[in-house]
Amino acid sequence: MSKAVKMNNPMKVVTGPKTRWSYANVWEPKSINGGTPKFSVSLIIPKSDVKTVEKIKAAIEAAYKEGASKLRGNGKSVPALAVIKTPLRDGDTERPDDAAYAGCYFVNANATTAPGIVDIDRQPILDHSEVYSGVYGRASINFYAFNANGNRGIACGLNNLQKVSDGEPLGGRSRAEDDFADCDDDDEFLN
């Protein structure tokens, strides 16, 4: 068997397996504020996953360098990385009231094409109920510069997802299996 040739793309990152998926719109594209419908997910990365965080920071830096001319636009100079929008955000600062984001960074990734979604054995997941906001897994993402409508910065594209384990569903929604786990089959209706 031949191994796939790995291309080294400094702007591509595969997150660690403890990344939690939130706002997982990965089966159907969704339009936000009337924009182009996109597939998207918020990737919650524990601050303790230093390896993933460092890979993301390096990929953002690479995207900044690669996209310098785009970021410059019609200006005379490229704005400093510190003053443009970047996708790595601090959950403790930006989502202080959301326990799922406590002690974590997060990155919002999106794409106009559907991501490939596989299980731990790299087999395609076809059952939509298997992937929901709250599962844990890896994400293949890429970073790139943008300059549109007066906004410029670094964005995060969504490539593929690998579910590693189930997690408590996020967003206040419970699973049907959990809701009815304690019900007796001999409830009054059956008598």
Residue 1 has pLDDT above 50, yes or no: no
Domain residue spans of the chain: 12-171
Percent of the chain past pLDDT 90, that is, above it, reads 75
Cβ count near 1 (within 10 Å) = 2
The fold of the 12-171 domain, in CATH, is: OB fold (Dihydrolipoamide Acetyltransferase, E2P) (2.40.50)
Looking at residues 113-135, what average pLDDT do you find?
96
CA quadruple 43, 48, 53, 55: dihedral sign: negative
Give the residue, 148 or 62, on which the prediction is more confident.
62
Amino acid letter, 24: A
Asked if 15 and 141 touch (Cβ cutoff 8 Å), the reply is: yes
Q: Which range among 17-31, 149-163, 165-179 shows the weakest confidence by mean pLDDT?
A: 165-179
Residue 15 has pLDDT above 80, yes or no: yes
Percent of the chain past pLDDT 70, that is, above it, reads 87
Record the pTM.
Answer: 0.85
SS3 label, residue 68? helix
